[in-house]
Structure 1
């Protein structure tokens, strides 16, 4: 068996209104990418990409999206991203089109590499993101959202306790 290799795109949604907290779901991003690939590359491009395309992570406060696709066809997705000009926001019964464009921040071979890049990116942008918050509750939600994207680190004291208890 041959192992399937993937590419992960770390993308920032850039909106005209600079408001964050849009009500955008992963399936809406997925649908916009599929439509763009079909428009640019036709049925063949859509068939190649549709098998493995998925939206793994979306953060509505920082407007970050993580997309997974096969390495063999990642250039089809990558070349179609600039042609996405809007996303649809859920507002009850009437969906609303929000003008935006997708800015590719990082392309990696693993989720971990994208996660490492995202931590560095969030450290640089944290102050400007928190300045845009209007209430303390909103600041807490943004901080919690950013922390959920960061790597889980082990407590260094925990490992030393386990090693000392195992050697007795």
Structure 2
């Protein structure tokens, strides 16, 4: 029996300065929107063969619209293709942006730890109001709830 080997990519969507006037405003995107965005850009940059290679194995495990941080599961053999595609994305739902890879890992547990640490930094930077403690708790519980 063959084991499927995956990598987990923690990424952040950074809005262009002209559209990031209110950084506390959540980005209106779902896991399916992120998946569609990455698949379309893989097809654009690597053609039909590239899209076919990652089509079955890629999955968005988590996306937080408040901090714009997400985790994608990718087949190990195609990790470079996906990280290159993330770096080449310039628009998300007609909004100018850039995607930054924060961490890659072979296990979801290490990616979760990195995402929790990064989420904490981003929440403290973006939100200066009273509900920061609640946002931190919610974010950590959502990331920790990912299946291992």
TM-score by length of 2: 0.83
Verify the 8 A CA contact 1:6 1:71 in the aligned structure 2: yes
The structure whose RCO (Cα within 8 Å, separation 6+) is larger is 2
Q: Closer, same or farther in 2 for the Cα pair 1:82/1:76, shift >3 Å?
A: same
2:138 aligns with 145
Is there any run of 5+ residues in structure 2 with no aligned partner, and where? none
TM-score by length of 1: 0.74
RMSD: 2.0
Q: Closer, same or farther in 2 for the Cα pair 1:20/1:110, shift >3 Å?
A: farther
Tell which structure's C-alpha radius of gyration is larger. 1
2:118 to 116, 121, 124: 121
Structure 2: how far apart are the matches of 1:64 and 1:20?
14
Task: List per-residue Cα deviations over 1:31-54 (Å, max 9, x = no partner).
Answer: 111111111111111110101111
1:34 aligns with 39
| Number of aligned positions between the proteins | 140
Structure 2: how far apart are the matches of 1:125 and 1:83?
22
Is there any run of 5+ residues in structure 1 with no aligned partner, and where? 89-96, 153-168
**Runs of 4+ with deviation above 3 angstroms:** 122-126, 138-141, 149-152
1:14 aligns with 14
